[in-house]
Amino acid sequence: MSVDHPFIDTEVSLTCEVYRNDVRYRVNSLDSGWGKAESDKLKNKLGKRWRIACYSEKSKKRYKFLLRNTKNIWTHEMEVGYPADYPRDGRKVKRDRKLLVEAMERKYPGIKWTWRLGFQQERGKKGLGYAPHLHFLTDRFVDFKWLARTWARIVGSSDVNHIKAGTHIDKIRNVGKMINYMVNYMADDKETDVPPEFENVGRFWGVKRGIVEVEIFQKILPVRLAGRSMRLFRRWYRAKLRSWGIYKWKPGDNVGFTVIDGRRLFDFLQELYL
């Protein structure tokens, strides 16, 4: 005789976040059993911002997730760098980046962008220091001459060579390769190693707010049905990973996971059950 699990009919909240390419599943209990004191303590802990000292693996994964689900937007890539007298404080770099973004939005209303911080390694080899530079992806062409003049004014450079070579912009030929370069290659190539003399590095990447498209579906249902839905996605995703040559995958805890390229399966299931 079978014995039912004591929590099999307990209701939970199943949330499905559907992005352009990926799907995120999350299950939350409707009754955590925590008191207000414990809840407030957790909120205070989660709300505390720690000083950023390096480009972490978690940050890299978050940026890759964002780029993967916005890759239909990006058409051009550009880079801005500093002259020989470059700042050693991340707060100055952040201020310069903010001024450049504001100038771009005045020049090109509605422009979409994402940026990424790196440090020039070749200069270090030549004894010229590890100058910071910023990589951008945009959804449109930015005039090179305007960019060069604007950036030189922001950083206070009158060096003719820097004005000519301190910026560049190109059309993206292969978005997938560009995303790999922005997320993986730069990190593996030591571009995100913070130089010893550089202070207050801050965030390594950022994106304009409101450009990530997401549909959120939420249902209240018994644990057994929530588990059935998540198992379907897990099995499909494991099969997909095996086709990529990845045979070991742990979805982490039992309360949520991300399915890369899961949008196709989600849309198929929606059509199947409509």
Task: Map out the domains of the chain as residue ranges.
Answer: 11-48+216-273, 70-207
> What pLDDT does 270 receive?
62
Q: Reply yes or no on whether the pLDDT at 48 is more than 60.
A: no
CA atoms within 13 A on the CB side of 173: 1
Architecture of domain 70-207: 2-Layer Sandwich (3.30)
C-alpha–C-alpha distance, residues 132 and 35, integer Å = 47
pLDDT tens digits along 201-243:
888 899 998 888 888 888 787 777 776 777 777 777 777 777 7
C-alpha–C-alpha distance, residues 228 and 206, integer Å = 36
C-alpha–C-alpha distance, residues 179 and 168, integer Å = 18
pLDDT tens digits along 49-73:
556 667 778 888 888 889 889 988 9
CB 131 within 8 A of CB 191: no
Q: Reply yes or no on whether the pLDDT at 3 is more than 60.
A: no
Strand order in the sheet with 132-138: 167-171, 76-81, 132-138, 113-119, 205-207
Mean pLDDT across the chain, nearest whole number? 78
Mean pLDDT of 104-130: 82
Q: How buried is residue 164: exposed, middle or buried, by Cβ count under 10 Å (0-12/13-18/19+)?
A: exposed
